[in-house]
Structure 1
């Protein structure tokens, strides 16, 4: 009889262990939707906070991908129906202007609103950037203004070009990817805007940007299998291929060509002309 009791006890413990293990396996693991990002700013308000995230440690001249979250302090939850908009503004000593920027969307994660801003210049002690956020919270419209610091890229490499085209239009071209270039054929991505006014910077569609990477320190040699940048309507960016055959410093020579085939900026690289006036820089 004692033997049977021991057997039943063991069976009960085994069943309990299996049940607990099964529960653990079926319990969903909480996913942090901003994992890997840095919270670079937080705007505290009376009943909520606005949190600003970036892959970078701080905002830089050029392309900045930014995520924001709005936390309702009343229920300690993040808001998924805030419908936020934003407007970057540079306050200079004699004028003010905005910057190219995308809309904020939460298509990937309901409580995380993502977008990008292309800052054309760094801030300083007397000239500064401010981002104004407008959004809805519990049926009320809110507005918060945040003064932000924008610095030159730490690596000192040029990844943003602000220039006047041969059509008398001012353009802003900014490098996006690859963030971590490799000795391979990399996916190359950039954004292109034009300046209509101090406050309006629409996206430029359906142009072409030729790609000719060179290594100035290695006889200015190029590489095979590069693909020119062309516009992708789904992402509203320009996509191409960048072939890097070795590590080191590369100058990615570019030419901007409009829909009529006219070169608006940049030149061919040849023996008499070692570089284009339109380019990005990489070093890895």
Structure 2
């Protein structure tokens, strides 16, 4: 075959390969796949988009994912230092609640995450606000807005005064989807130092006695008491659920000296501890 015929054939082959490569580009990764937007909190420069698995805040433990959008070009900020201050406004006072630091999601370039525990809300879901303070390239910004917090169907958080004169907050974190059998139980425990400070309580003990009030208040076998795990600053135990339905997780809180701070044994005369959490599945 002569050269003048070979060159056009080679050109067409190369063009076909190039077009095929262009058409097979991998679509961009959706950083927020599986998440539902709760709301945007905006200022003149940015929109802070808040997400979780349900699209709503509720009383109790909330894991929150967020990203910061530049309003001028709709791009997302990959390197920001960000903190938050949740605040409940009451008629004569205001207070915050337990919340974690906000950290970068390691495998997502534009996402940040943290957790917050709302210990109460108003009947119309009002009262709470969040203020974000953040810096981008050493420039400081603030964005704030009211938020809606719904009352959870079951008691997944308890705020209480203990016998040591201190106020604590205990929150159910896991299991989110209980099953029949042994479940990983995780509870967060915090002390209310003042209206704004809720440090994690370490190395206490939480005794567990799960009961089914609708089934003669029977318990279940193979449960363990909650103990503190320094790797995640949470309290963990084995929770045995022998059947579906409504369960009360009766608790007793002991300090590091094994002194009882809150809660009572469940007996025929005392059907429920004064310190408890609930779940139903």
> Which residue of structure 2 aligns with residue 218 of structure 1?
215
Q: Provide, for residues 78-134 of structure 1, a one-character-per-residue CA deviation record: whole Å limited to 9, x for no partner.
A: 212211000011111111111111111114334211111111211356961110001
> Which residue of structure 1 aligns with residue 157 of structure 2?
160
Q: Provide, for residues 133-176 of structure 1, a one-character-per-residue CA deviation record: whole Å limited to 9, x for no partner.
A: 011134311001110111211x2x11111111111110000111
> Which residue of structure 2 aligns with residue 150 of structure 1?
149
Q: Are residue 243 (structure 1) and residue 246 (structure 2) matched?
A: no
> Which residue of structure 1 aligns with residue 68 of structure 2?
70
Structure 2 contact 125–149 (Cα < 8 Å) conserved: no
Structure 1 contact 257–265 (Cα < 8 Å) conserved: yes
- Alpha-carbon distance in 1 for matches of 2:141, 2:99: 20
Change (3 A) 1:124 1:140: farther
Structure 1 segment 14-93 matched on structure 2, within 5 A: 20=20, 24=24, 28=26, 30-93=28-91
Residue segments in structure 2 that go unaligned for 5+ positions in a row? 2-8
- Alpha-carbon distance in 2 for matches of 1:229, 1:31: 39
Structure 1 runs of 4+ aligned residues shifted over 6 Å read: none
Q: Are residue 273 (structure 1) and residue 274 (structure 2) matched?
A: no
Equivalenced residue count is 271
Name the SS for the 1:67 alignment partner: strand
Deviation at 1:65, TM superposition (A): 1.1
Deviation at 1:220, TM superposition (A): 1.6
182-191 or 41-50, which moves further after superposition? 41-50
Q: Are residue 179 (structure 1) and residue 180 (structure 2) matched?
A: no
State the TM-score, normalizing by the size of structure 2: 0.87
273-282 or 117-126, which moves further after superposition? 117-126
> Which residue of structure 2 aligns with residue 119 of structure 1?
118
Residue segments in structure 1 that go unaligned for 5+ positions in a row? 2-8
